[in-house]
Structure 1
Amino acid sequence: MTAHVFKVVLDRQPTDDELDALFAAGCDDAAFGSENGLPIGEFDREAETMADAIASAVRELDGVGLIALRVVDQDLVTLADVADRIGQSRESVRRYATGDRGPGTFPPPVNPAREGTSFYRWSEIAPWIRQHLKIDAPESDPALIVANLVLQARQHRERVAHMEALADLLAA
C-alpha cells in the first residue's frame, strides 16, 4: 500500500463529537482545521490508489454527517499560472492561447463566455505543452480531477431531473 496525501474542503468544521466518531471509525490519519478560512481535512491515507484513498475518506466523512465539497488540486489555472509553471512570459503564453504563436489548437478556457480572467484546466494544457512546445509539464493527478467532478455531481444530484441518465454516462 502507498500513502496518499490530499486535502478535502468540508462544508463546515467538525464538532468534537464528530472528530471522536471519525477517530473511533479508524480515521486517525487526518488532521482537521482551516486554511484561508475554509474548513479542511488533510489526509495521509494508506490505500492501493489515490482514488481508493479519497473514496474511503469521503465515506468516513459521510458517516458522521460531514460533506466533502472538493479535493484540493492545482488543475484550474490562468494563463499567468501557465507562464509561471513553464518558465515563459505571460505574453508568450497568451499568444499560444490566441493562436498567434505556435501550432494553434491550444485548449479552450473553461469559461469562454466570461469577460475578465479566463481559467483553463492544467490537465488539458500540460499534454499540449509537452507535445507542441517540448517542455516537461507535469501531469495533474487524474484521480483528483475525477474526484472533484464526482463530489460536485453529488452536491447537485437532487436538483437534476433524471440524474440516472447522467450517472449512466460515467458507468459507460
Structure 2
Amino acid sequence: MPNYDFELILSRPLLEAELDPLFQLTHGLVTVGFVRELRGKEQRGQAGCRWQAPSLSAAIMEVIELLESLEPPAEDVPPLRVLSVEADPLLSMRDIAERVGRSLESVRLCIRGTRGPGNFPPSETTSAGHRLWRWSRVAAWYGVEDPQLHEAGPTSQAINGWLALRDVVPQVAPAPEEVTSALSAVLSNVA
C-alpha cells in the first residue's frame, strides 16, 4: 500500500496533554503543533500526516476518524474537529531533494536559476524563515510523474465538501465509507 502525505486544518490546536494519546493512536505518523493552553476560540490547529492506505481518500478519512476520537483533556476544551484537508503538500528544500532524488545543493541551485532550465516555481509561503513550495508545481518542473497528485485535487475537493456538509447539515452527509467508495470508483477512471 502506498503512503500518502496531506495536511489537515483543525478546529483548534492540540494541547500538550493530547500528544501521548495522539502518538499511541497514530504511531507517530501524524505530527502537530501544540499549545499549553487554548487562547481564543478562533485559534486553528494543523496536522501533517503521512498515512499508508489503499487510496488517498481512505488515508484522509482514517486520520480524520482517529483525530476526532481523541478525548478532550478537560471539560472546558471543545472536541477536536477537522475543518479541511490539503493533499498537495508544501515542501521545504530538503523535502524536495528527497522526493526528486537530488542533493540539497542541487535543489538550491535550481531554485536560484543557476542549474536546470530556469523558472523554478515560486515558493508558496514562508514558515519560520523557511520557504515552502507546492509539490505539484515542483513535480511538474522536474518532470516527476506522481500518480498520487492525480488523486490530490479531486479528493481534496470532495472531502472538503463532505466536511462542510457534515457541519452544516450532518443528517444528510454520507458516511465516510460512502465518500471513500465513491471517490475510489470515480478516480480509478481519472488517471
Scaled by the length of structure 2, what TM-score is found?
Answer: 0.46
Task: State the distance in 2 between where 1:20 and 1:146 align.
Answer: 31
Task: Report what 1:8 is aligned to.
Answer: 8
Task: Report what 2:83 is aligned to.
Answer: 69
Indicate if the aligned counterparts of 1:71 and 1:144 stay in contact, CA closer than 8 A: yes
For each residue in 1:117-159, what CA deviation from the matched residue of structure 2 results, as whole angstroms up to 9, or x when unmatched? xxxxxxxxxxxxxxxxxxxxx855311111111111121125x
* Bigger Cα displacement from structure 2, 145-154 vs 23-32: 23-32
Aligned residues: 103
CA shift, 1:18, in A, is 1.6
Give the direction of change, closer, same or farther, for the CA distance of 1:10–1:27 in structure 2 (3 Å limit).
Answer: farther
CA shift, 1:17, in A, is 2.1
Note the aligned Cα RMSD (angstroms). Answer: 3.1
Task: Report what 2:59 is aligned to.
Answer: 53
Structure number with greater Rg is 1
CA shift, 1:73, in A, is 5.4
Task: State the distance in 1 between where 2:54 and 2:87 align.
Answer: 20
CA shift, 1:26, in A, is 2.8
Percentage of matched positions with identical amino acids: 22
Structure 2 gaps of 5+ residues are: 35-42, 71-78, 89-148, 183-191
For each residue in 1:26-59, what CA deviation from the matched residue of structure 2 results, as whole angstroms up to 9, or x when unmatched? 341011128xx74210001111110111001000
Paired letter, 2:17: D
Scaled by the length of structure 1, what TM-score is found?
Answer: 0.50
Structure 1 gaps of 5+ residues are: 75-137
Task: State the distance in 2 between where 1:2 and 1:44 align.
Answer: 10
Which aligned runs of 4 or more in structure 1 are off by greater than 3 angstroms? none
Task: State the distance in 2 between where 1:31 and 1:167 align.
Answer: 28
Give the direction of change, closer, same or farther, for the CA distance of 1:17–1:53 in structure 2 (3 Å limit).
Answer: same
Indicate if the aligned counterparts of 2:5 and 2:87 stay in contact, CA closer than 8 A: no
